[in-house]
Structure 1
C-alpha cells in the first residue's frame, strides 16, 4: 500500500511490522491466544464492520476518491492502484478502521503497515465454537461419514449471523440425537458453496441418507428449525 507519510521514520522507510504488531496488541486491536496465535479483537471488528459495510456497497468512483484523499495521490493514480490490486477495498477498510480505532495514536506510515497486518489477520472464524469447523478439504469426508447431518454456514460482518448465534443453544437442542452438526465459514469454502448452491449466510443445510434435503437461508428461529428437523429426520421422512 502506497501512502504519503505524515511523519516518516528517520530512514525514510516504513516501520518494522513486528513493532507495529506490538502497538496493535497494546491498543487492543489484536490479541494473542494461549497457543501464540493472533487474531483481531471484537472491539476492533466492531469498528471494521462499519467501514466494511460502507465500502462493500460504494461504487468504484467513491473508493477512488477515498484512496486519493487518504494517500495523497490524484484520481488517475488512485484508479491505477485499485486496478492493479496494489490497494484493495479491504486495505482501505482496514486503514480507516485502525485509524479510527487508534484515535490519532498512529502516524500514516504505521497505519499503512497496521492495515496490511490487519487484512492478513482478518477477524478470525465466524463459525461458533459449538460446531466442528469444516473446509473445502474436509466437508466431503464429514458428509460421507455422517448420512444424517446439519451443516451451518456463517460469515463475518453478518448481522443475521450474529443474531442467530444468540439462539444457538436452543437450535442445538432442536437437533435430533444421532444427527451430526458442523459449520463452515461461507467465504472460505467456494467448492462447498458451488456444490450445494449456497451464496448467503446464515444458512442451515439438512442432509438425510447422505443427500441434501433442504437449505434454509437467513436467520431462522429455533422453533422453525425444530419443525424442519422433525420433518426431515422423522420416522416417516
Structure 2
C-alpha cells in the first residue's frame, strides 16, 4: 500500500518496515519462529475476520468512502488509488484490523506500513501443535508409513474448529496405542480433500490397515471419538 498520510514520521517518511515488524511482534499480531518464518497470530486473525466480514463484500462506494476517511484524501483520489491497485480491500481490512488490535498504540504512518506487512504475512496454521502437520506433499508418505492413523482437518475462521481445539487432549488420550495422529490445514491441502471427499472442517478421518474407514465432521464430544476409535481400531 503506497498511501501518503497527514502524520509523517519524524524524518518525514514512512517508518522502517523492520521496526514496524518488530512492533507487530511485540504487540502479538505477528509471531516469528526460530527459523525466521513469520505468521500472523490467531488473536490478530480474530480481529481481522471482523473487518473482513464487513468489507470483503462492501460495495465500491463504501470502500472508497473508507479509504478517503482513513487517509484524508478526496473521494476521487480514493477511487483512483483503488482502481490502480495501490490500495486494495485487503489493505483496508488489514489497516482497520491493525488499528483496532493495537488499540491506539500505532500512528497513521506506522499503520500504513503495518497493514502492508500484514497482508503479505500468512496466518498461523490452524492445526493444533499436538498434531504432526501434513501437507499435500507429505500426507501420502505419512499414510504409507502409518496404516493405522487418525488424520484431522482444520480451517481458519472456523468456529467449530476453534471450539474443538479445547477437546484435543481428551481426543488424543482416546487414540489407541500404535495409531498415528496428524493434522492438515484444509485450505492448503486441496489434493487430500479431493482424494478423501472432505468438504467440511473440522474433520477426523480414521484409517485402518491403510484404508479410510470413517470420516467424522463437525465438533463431536470426546466420548464420541473414543467410541468410534474403539470400533474402527479394535485392540490396535
TM-score range, shorter chain: 0.7 to 0.9
- Verify the 8 A CA contact 1:6 1:107 in the aligned structure 2: no
Q: 1:26 to 1:230 in 2, by over 3 A?
A: closer
Q: 1:112 to 1:141 in 2, by over 3 A?
A: same
Matched position secondary structure for 2:184: strand
Bigger shift: 45-54 or 184-193? 45-54
- Give RMSD over aligned pairs: 2.8
Q: How many residues in Structure 1 have an aligned counterpart in Structure 2? A: 231
- Verify the 8 A CA contact 1:151 1:184 in the aligned structure 2: yes
TM-score normalised over the length of structure 2: 0.82
Separation in 1 of the partners of 2:195 and 2:63? Answer: 33
Aligned to 1:228: 228
1:133 is aligned to 2:136: no
1:177 is aligned to 2:177: yes
Matched position secondary structure for 1:151: strand
Aligned to 1:147: 147
Aligned to 1:80: 83
- Verify the 8 A CA contact 1:126 1:154 in the aligned structure 2: yes
TM-score normalised over the length of structure 1: 0.81
Map 1:1-237; keep pairs closer than 5 Å: 1-9=1-9, 13-33=13-33, 36-55=36-55, 58-61=57-60, 62-63=62-63, 65-67=65-67, 69-71=69-71, 72=73, 73-74=75-76, 76-77=79-80, 80-81=83-84, 87-234=87-234
Q: 1:3 to 1:200 in 2, by over 3 A?
A: farther
Matched position secondary structure for 2:216: strand
TM superposition shift of 1:204: 0.9
Q: 1:133 to 1:102 in 2, by over 3 A?
A: same
- Verify the 8 A CA contact 2:82 2:88 in the aligned structure 1: no
Structure 1 runs not aligned, ≥5 long? none
Structure 2 runs not aligned, ≥5 long? none
